[in-house]
Chains A and B, each alone.
Chain A
Amino acid sequence: MSGAEDRRAPPPGRAAARRPVAPRLGRGLLLAAFSLLFVLYVAGPVAWLVSSSLQTEAQATAVPPNWLPPEPTLANFEAIFRAAERVVTYETRRQGDPATGGFLPTGAQNLLPSLRNSLVVGLWVAALNLLLSLTAAYAIAVIDFRGRRATLYTVLATRVIPDIALVVPLFLVIRALGLINSLAALVVTYLAVTVPFTIFILISYFEGIPRDLYRAARVDGCGHWGALRQVYLPLSLPALVAALTFAFLTSWNEFVFALVLTQNVEAQTLPIVISGFVMDFTTSFSFVNAAGVIAIVPPVLLAVLFQRYIVSGLTAGAVKG
């Protein structure tokens, strides 16, 4: 104890050697302050979205706002999951304009089918994207063939064109293929959107894998497919997961193409149906927010689940710049 006492009160001459307490405290305070700001900014809006989705319409539109749900209710979510069950006849119809009455957007029963569509499209895109970009990235990164650079640049160049610029011709192409309003149209489109970036990620990652491993595999008896499967696939897991997550999230989020290429509940994805609520005659804020929460859950789960891989997977691609 006394030893500690001593150290805390050093002779004046040795003050310079003392651990600087004040700056460390300052650093702690600074970090805490910044962290608080960060949390408020990043999580605040989503927290408010979730909070209002658990309120009734009256509570959600109260002035001043209810920061937390006064009596949390799952009614909005229930409405979403029950929307398809209702059969409408003269007897069971709701009188009055739903615009101000029932507070349930007419597109509500499309929400679950669109959730399914989004999932189906996302999973297909993720899977096919992986297959396509894996093979292409392998070929470009590993095999020395004529036109290799040209292929790479062409692939990357397709992403320089803004989506909105592709929308018109793509609509015409998809129409010519007879694929308007099909999930296949979305899958193919999203592949084209995501593949260049995932190829880029994978190439960067592949280039980090020692060339000698490739040579060893080849002389050990692997063809190109074998080398890809036996060496590159198992060794680039983080990049693969990052690419997969990226592909899924992109197709989950995508809006412009889906807006133009789909027409009804058979192919519409979640963003389209939700944007419909906002522009509908009916706007129930609490309901729309509940739909928003549903749309956020899968990608957030995915992102948090694969957090480690996303960062390390991006690493190779990023730092080379």
Chain B
Amino acid sequence: MATIVCEGLTKRYGAVTALEALDLTIAHGEFMVLLGPSGCGKTTTLNLIAGLEEASAGRLLFDGRDVTWLPPHRREVAMVFQSYALYPNKTVFENIAFPLRLRRTPRAGIERAVRAAAEQLEIAHLLDRRPHQLSGGQRQRVALGRAIVRNPAAFLMDEPLSNLDAALRLSMRSLIKRLHHQLRATFVYVTHDQAEAMTLADRIAVMRGGLIQQLDTPEGIYERPANLFVAGFLGSPPINLIEGRIEDGAFRRAELRLPAPRAEPGREVVLGLRPEDVEAPAPHLIPLAGRVELVSPLGSDTYAEVSGPAGTSLTLRVPKGWRVREGEGIEVGVDPARLHLFDRASERRIA
């Protein structure tokens, strides 16, 4: 179990910089999720922590010990992969036992540890099989088993659920969460799936272009996205973004006008409104009207695409109990406190 500290960690491939001076401290026992689109540097970060790639600059500390130049097999980290990465020529038992064998664990110890891990993951009956005889979910359990059978400094997970179908993904997600609670170990989890990030993480690092955009708890990131990218990346359906400027303490775009008391006047801004942040009109809310273009019922919720004022096109969650039809008008209320304002030039959050 370890605290992981990245100090100015940088990775370049020739002229391309995959990771730019990353500073990140992952506390002991913390579940850290690295979230971002492909190519954002999250997997590079994971590989650097694992030692699978060598840093071009910067330092990496495990519990204060400098491991920057330590090859992976001396770092004591365990890893789980999107492709499961089970050794096709070994049985399930041997797959799980493999790290222990490499550490010359006594035979009895291996037997015990593998059995225990298998029981915990409910794959004890599969131990004699080979990977190609298993389903995707079973394979990922085996991969998890191979990770937990040792006592690693950290668990590194590289999109472990991306290859599973939706239902399995949910159950595996809770399995991983349970494991984290039981093991109380440091987890670094890479994903591009915001739902996974939100449900699993103690903290999320949202990355883009080799830089951390925001590092915060899931709630913090959702509630106060640090910039346009983070705002746009989290939330489903995505946040509505409306360009405009600040005039007289309000956001203006043609006839649309929304209060923005703290923003300095004259600024070019982008206003963010999450689809779910609308309610039935009420006195303390700002009214917003438009015409319904498309209705998407999801069962639990219904979303509507609305052509709003000033030529905007918005996706809005239809308040509970409402019935809307395409082609009809709609009017909802927006809580000004839930509006997000970003500087258009710097894309940073203003309030």
Contact = CB atoms under 8 A, between A and B. Distances in A.
Interface stretch (B2-10, B49-57, B240-248): B49-57
Nearest to A222: B73
Interface string B137-149: 0000001001000
B213 interface: no
B313 to A, nearest CB: 41
B78 A219 contact: yes
16 contacts: A213-B85, A215-B79, A216-B146, A217-B87, A218-B51, A219-B51, A219-B77, A219-B156, A221-B73, A221-B103, A222-B73, A223-B71, A226-B102, A231-B87, A235-B88, A235-B89
Given A215-B52, A215-B81, A235-B89, 7 more contacts: A216-B86, A217-B87, A218-B51, A219-B72, A219-B78, A220-B102, A221-B103
B302 interface: no
Given A215-B81, A219-B78, A144 B53 contact: yes
A175 B146 CA distance: 56
Contacts of B77: 219
Interface residues of A, number: 18
Nearest to B78: A219
Contacts of B47: 215
Contacts of A216: 79, 81, 85-87, 143, 146
Contacts of A231: 87
Contact of A221 (B83, B84, B87, B99): B99
Contacts of A212: 81-85, 158
B85 A234 contact: no
Given A210-B85, A213-B85, A231-B87, A219 B102 contact: no
Interface residues of B, number: 29
A219 B73 CA distance: 5
Contacts of B143: 216
A147 B51 CA distance: 20
A221 B99 CA distance: 6
* Overall SS of chain A's interface: helix
B98 interface: yes
Interface of B: 47, 50-53, 71-73, 75, 77-79, 81-89, 98-99, 102-103, 143, 146, 156, 158
A182 B79 CA distance: 52
Contacts of B86: 216
Contact of A219 (B79, B83, B89): B79
Most chain B CB atoms below 10 A, which of A210, A218, A220:
A220
Contacts of B83: 210, 212
Nearest to B75: A219
Contacts of A221: 73, 99, 102-103
Interface string A186-230: 000000000000000000000000101101111111110010001
Nearest to A218: B72
A223 B156 CA distance: 18
B81 A220 contact: no
A220 B99 contact: yes
A187 B143 CA distance: 44
A219 B50 contact: yes
A221 B100 CA distance: 9
A221 B146 CA distance: 12
B102 A213 contact: no
Contact of B73 (A144, A218, A235): A218
A235 B73 CA distance: 21
Contacts of A213: 85, 87
A217 B86 CA distance: 9
